[in-house]
């Protein structure tokens, strides 16, 4: 019984990925510097901000913003100028619109 429970727990944890992000106050605290573009075609990644952690995806643009830094998969800093950014994002209105436009930068969110 314990063996079955342990295996079940491991399998569930393997499939429960989420893209949890935390917005830090200073650039030197961030894993990635992000710039929000005005138009969808300028973005590397189209992002949808989900309401619940279990709705977030694994590196597919569905982000859940956590309240505490230690809960995050990635710490991001929103920069003021495009040339300061590692990643350009555009926030979309619907979950099915989220995703990578420039897959060459997808490694930044792993």
Q: What is the pLDDT of residues 66-108, one digit of tens each?
A: 999 999 999 999 999 999 999 999 999 999 999 999 999 999 9
Q: Is residue 7 part of a domain?
A: no
Q: Is residue 42 part of a domain?
A: yes
Match 């901000």 to its residue by tokens: 49
Q: Does pTM surpass 0.85?
A: no
Domain count, the chain: 1
Q: Is residue 8 part of a domain?
A: no
Contact between 20 and 14 under an 8 Å Cβ cutoff? The reply is no
Q: Is residue 11 part of a domain?
A: no
Full residue range of the structural domain in which residue 105 is found: 17-109
For residue 79, give Cα distances in angstroms to 13, 16, 17, 24: 33, 30, 27, 11
Exposed e or buried b for every residue in 50-65, given b needs 16+ CB within 10 A? beeeeebbebbbbbbe
């Amino acid at each position: 019984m314990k063996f079955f429970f342990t295996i079940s727990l491991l399998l569930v944890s393997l499939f429960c990925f989420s893209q949890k992000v935390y917005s830090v106050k200073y650039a030197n605290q961030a894993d990635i510097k992000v710039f929000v573009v005005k138009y969808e075609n300028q973005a590397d990644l189209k992002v949808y901000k989900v309401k619940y952690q279990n709705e977030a995806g694994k590196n597919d643009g569905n982000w859940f913003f956590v309240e505490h830094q230690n809960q995050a998969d990635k710490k991001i800093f929103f920069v003021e100028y495009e040339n300061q950014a590692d990643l350009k994002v555009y926030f979309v209105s619907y979950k099915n619109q989220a995703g990578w436009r420039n897959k060459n930068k997808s490694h930044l969110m792993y």
